[in-house]
Amino acid sequence: MPDVVMGKHTLIEFHGCDRGVLSDTPAVERHMRAAADASGLTVVESVFHRFKPWGVSGVVIISESHLAVHTWPEHGYAAVDLFTCGDARPDGAVGYLTKAFRSAGVRLATHDRGFPSKGGGP
Protein backbone atom coordinates (compact mmCIF):
# COMPACT_ATOMS: atom_id res chain seq x y z
CA MET A 1 0.00 0.00 0.00
CA PRO A 2 1.48 3.35 -0.99
CA ASP A 3 1.57 6.16 1.60
CA VAL A 4 0.99 8.78 -1.05
CA VAL A 5 -1.93 7.79 -3.29
CA MET A 6 -1.85 9.39 -6.74
CA GLY A 7 -4.53 7.30 -8.43
CA LYS A 8 -6.89 4.36 -8.28
CA HIS A 9 -6.54 1.45 -10.65
CA THR A 10 -9.56 -0.80 -11.04
CA LEU A 11 -9.12 -4.17 -12.76
CA ILE A 12 -12.46 -5.47 -14.05
CA GLU A 13 -13.26 -8.94 -15.40
CA PHE A 14 -16.38 -9.25 -17.55
CA HIS A 15 -17.28 -12.87 -18.25
CA GLY A 16 -20.20 -14.61 -19.89
CA CYS A 17 -20.30 -11.79 -22.47
CA ASP A 18 -21.83 -11.63 -25.94
CA ARG A 19 -19.20 -12.99 -28.31
CA GLY A 20 -20.43 -10.93 -31.24
CA VAL A 21 -20.01 -7.67 -29.36
CA LEU A 22 -16.52 -8.59 -28.12
CA SER A 23 -15.31 -9.31 -31.66
CA ASP A 24 -16.74 -6.12 -33.18
CA THR A 25 -13.89 -3.59 -33.02
CA PRO A 26 -15.93 -0.44 -33.79
CA ALA A 27 -18.58 -1.50 -31.25
CA VAL A 28 -15.98 -2.15 -28.53
CA GLU A 29 -14.36 1.25 -29.18
CA ARG A 30 -17.74 3.02 -29.13
CA HIS A 31 -18.68 1.28 -25.88
CA MET A 32 -15.38 2.07 -24.19
CA ARG A 33 -15.69 5.77 -25.05
CA ALA A 34 -19.29 5.77 -23.84
CA ALA A 35 -18.16 4.02 -20.63
CA ALA A 36 -15.72 6.87 -19.98
CA ASP A 37 -18.59 9.31 -20.46
CA ALA A 38 -20.73 7.28 -18.07
CA SER A 39 -18.12 7.82 -15.35
CA GLY A 40 -17.85 11.53 -16.13
CA LEU A 41 -14.36 11.13 -17.60
CA THR A 42 -12.94 13.31 -20.38
CA VAL A 43 -11.86 11.39 -23.48
CA VAL A 44 -8.66 12.69 -25.10
CA GLU A 45 -8.02 10.00 -27.70
CA SER A 46 -8.62 6.33 -28.35
CA VAL A 47 -6.71 3.66 -30.24
CA PHE A 48 -8.11 0.21 -31.01
CA HIS A 49 -6.83 -2.84 -32.85
CA ARG A 50 -8.33 -6.12 -33.92
CA PHE A 51 -6.15 -9.17 -33.59
CA LYS A 52 -6.48 -12.31 -35.70
CA PRO A 53 -8.32 -14.57 -35.56
CA TRP A 54 -10.31 -12.81 -32.81
CA GLY A 55 -9.97 -10.28 -30.11
CA VAL A 56 -9.88 -6.53 -29.73
CA SER A 57 -7.33 -4.48 -27.78
CA GLY A 58 -7.81 -0.81 -27.19
CA VAL A 59 -7.13 2.10 -24.93
CA VAL A 60 -9.03 5.30 -24.28
CA ILE A 61 -6.71 8.03 -23.01
CA ILE A 62 -8.69 10.21 -20.63
CA SER A 63 -7.66 13.42 -18.89
CA GLU A 64 -7.88 11.45 -15.65
CA SER A 65 -5.57 8.67 -17.00
CA HIS A 66 -6.76 5.65 -19.04
CA LEU A 67 -9.35 2.98 -19.74
CA ALA A 68 -8.09 -0.16 -21.51
CA VAL A 69 -9.75 -3.32 -22.82
CA HIS A 70 -8.68 -6.69 -24.17
CA THR A 71 -11.33 -9.12 -25.38
CA TRP A 72 -11.32 -12.88 -25.88
CA PRO A 73 -14.59 -13.39 -27.80
CA GLU A 74 -14.07 -17.16 -27.95
CA HIS A 75 -14.24 -17.21 -24.13
CA GLY A 76 -16.90 -14.49 -23.79
CA TYR A 77 -14.35 -12.62 -21.67
CA ALA A 78 -13.19 -9.01 -21.58
CA ALA A 79 -10.45 -7.64 -19.32
CA VAL A 80 -10.89 -3.92 -18.63
CA ASP A 81 -8.81 -1.63 -16.49
CA LEU A 82 -9.54 1.91 -15.43
CA PHE A 83 -6.85 4.17 -13.98
CA THR A 84 -8.23 7.39 -12.54
CA CYS A 85 -6.94 10.34 -10.58
CA GLY A 86 -9.01 12.58 -8.37
CA ASP A 87 -12.60 11.83 -7.50
CA ALA A 88 -13.56 9.81 -10.59
CA ARG A 89 -15.51 6.66 -9.74
CA PRO A 90 -15.61 3.51 -11.87
CA ASP A 91 -19.27 2.68 -11.13
CA GLY A 92 -20.72 4.40 -14.18
CA ALA A 93 -18.26 2.76 -16.58
CA VAL A 94 -18.70 -0.68 -15.00
CA GLY A 95 -22.49 -0.46 -15.14
CA TYR A 96 -22.44 0.74 -18.73
CA LEU A 97 -20.05 -2.00 -19.92
CA THR A 98 -21.93 -4.76 -18.06
CA LYS A 99 -24.95 -3.95 -20.21
CA ALA A 100 -23.03 -3.20 -23.42
CA PHE A 101 -21.07 -6.48 -23.28
CA ARG A 102 -24.18 -8.35 -21.99
CA SER A 103 -21.98 -9.75 -19.26
CA ALA A 104 -23.35 -12.50 -17.01
CA GLY A 105 -20.79 -11.79 -14.30
CA VAL A 106 -18.41 -9.04 -13.27
CA ARG A 107 -15.53 -9.07 -10.81
CA LEU A 108 -13.46 -6.07 -9.91
CA ALA A 109 -10.62 -5.10 -7.65
CA THR A 110 -9.31 -1.59 -6.99
CA HIS A 111 -5.67 -0.93 -6.19
CA ASP A 112 -4.18 2.31 -4.88
CA ARG A 113 -1.37 3.65 -7.07
CA GLY A 114 1.34 5.81 -5.54
CA PHE A 115 4.57 5.71 -3.62
CA PRO A 116 5.98 5.58 -0.08
CA SER A 117 6.35 8.92 1.66
CA LYS A 118 9.92 8.20 2.75
CA GLY A 119 12.95 6.39 1.45
CA GLY A 120 13.67 4.96 -1.95
CA GLY A 121 14.09 1.24 -1.41
CA PRO A 122 11.83 -1.42 -2.85
| Cα separation, 121 vs 119, whole angstroms | 6
Indicate whether 72 belongs to the interface with a copy of itself (CB under 8 A).
yes
Is 111 a known active-site residue?
Answer: no
Residue 46 CB contacts under 8 Å (≥ 6 apart), including other chains: 29, 32, 33, 58, 59, 60, 61
Indicate whether 43 belongs to the interface with a copy of itself (CB under 8 A).
no
Of 19-27, 29-37, 52-60, which part binds a copy of itself (CB under 8 A)? 52-60
Environment class of residue 117 by beta-carbon count within 10 Å: exposed (0-12), middle (13-18) or buried (19+)?
Answer: exposed
Is 85 a known active-site residue?
Answer: yes
User: Which chain residues interact with a copy of itself by CB under 8 A?
Assistant: 2, 4, 6-7, 9, 11, 13, 15-16, 44-45, 47, 49, 51, 57-59, 61, 63, 65-66, 68, 70, 72, 75, 77, 79, 81, 83, 85, 104-107, 109, 111, 113-116, 119-122
